[in-house]
Chains A and B, each alone.
Chain A
Amino acid sequence: QEGDAVARLAAWLEGTRTLEGRFEQVLLDERGREVQRSAGTVAILRPGRFRWDYVEPARQLIVADGERLWFYDAALEQVTVRPLDEALGSAPSRLLSGAATLADGFRAEAAGRREGLAWVRLEPRDGSDDFARLEVGLGAEGIEVMVLVDGFGQRTRFRFSQVQRNRGLDPGLFRFEPPPGVDVVGAEAQ
């Protein structure tokens, strides 16, 4: 029953065209102490499009429109933009947005049960990635928790809730229009 957690994750990802829900994101330092907590809504249209809309503690928006990755920070009044492939280093977006299928992007192995979830550990196939491993917690409805462990031992933990899968999604969600009066910075900005 262990091994099929990997198969279940692969099937769930393959069968996911769109995803919408709420997320909570917590950054834990190398000693496991909470550094930062944020929350908002996430929408994903595979392949290659996603939108992380942060409302707590501050307004931020991360949009992948299929070609470029936009970061908007309201307090900093700035938008940074970069080509999507260069920016997709971070695993959550790569795994969820379908830029790489599970098998060719990661080495996957089942990692037992805890917190009522079946866990899968994913290690990046190409060493250039900037994270050590990704741990994915599968519940009845699919991915509920994702923990990204980086080279310093920091953990970025995502918890998803109220997830709706394969529902119609407004494609406009994945087009980014810089708000008026905000600086846009980045190679692709012109």
Chain B
Amino acid sequence: CQSLPPVPEAARERAWRGHAARLAALEAWTLVGRMTAQADGRSLSASLRWHHGVGGDAIVLTAPLGGGALRIELDAAGVRLVASDGGERRAADAAALLAAELGVAVPVEALRYWVVGLPQPGAAARRELDREGRLRRLRQGGWEVEYRGYEAAGPWILPRVLFARGGEAEVRIAVERWRPGEAG
């Protein structure tokens, strides 16, 4: 097949800046999909519901055949983990709490940006852009995030599938539905 002409780096960077600025203006969103998380032999598969708003994030993980739910709440003060049996834990360091509880150190504060296709602000990052100037690969905080497809949701272009690897740990997310602009 006729190969596409290469898109010069400067054009990709320009496209990226426009894309990133639009995403940064997205203050609220909800995503529904599926997630797996694994680290040294321990694994977790769940249906994923993520509500992001100005005040913070509420993430609900539900076992594939129902039952077994876990709620992760993130705000400026830190993270709160509520199990469906009512048990609750709170910590300032989300990754450490999730490592202790789920066995996988999920960098959830960074993941909240990676999942919409942005690097976490204020932390060094190395990025590789696709032809449309969107993230194809991102290295940040010892993790590597690989973007495997985007989809349009209203005026926004948001990731469909992403794989994040950090040392022994890995988190994979497949988004079934984005609802930008809706926090909950």
Chain A residues engaging chain B, CB cutoff 8 angstroms: 25, 27, 29, 35-36, 52, 57-58, 60, 62, 71, 73, 75-78, 80-82, 89-93, 127-132, 148, 150-152, 154, 156, 158, 185-187, 189
Q: Is the interface of B mostly helix, strand, loop or mixed?
A: strand
Known: A36-B176, A76-B161, A131-B68. A187 touches B45 (CB 8 A): no
Q: Are B71 and A152 in contact (CB under 8 A)?
A: yes
How far is A35 from B59 in the complex, measured between Cα atoms in Å?
13
Chain B residues engaging chain A, CB cutoff 8 angstroms: 32, 34, 36, 38, 41-45, 47, 49, 60, 62-69, 71, 82-86, 161, 163, 172-174, 176
B116 to chain A, nearest CB (A): 18
How many A-B residue pairs have C-beta atoms within 8 angstroms? Tell me. Answer: 118
Q: Are B38 and A90 in contact (CB under 8 A)?
A: no
Residues of B within 8 A of A152 (CB): 60, 69, 71, 82, 84
How far is A39 from B170 in the complex, measured between Cα atoms in Å?
28
| Least CB separation from B42: chain A residue | A187
Q: Are B67 and A91 in contact (CB under 8 A)?
A: yes
| Least CB separation from A151: chain B residue | B84
Given contact pairs A80-B43, A131-B67, A154-B60, enumerate 9 new A-B contacts (beta carbons under 8 Å). A25-B65, A27-B62, A35-B32, A35-B47, A82-B43, A90-B67, A148-B67, A150-B66, A152-B71
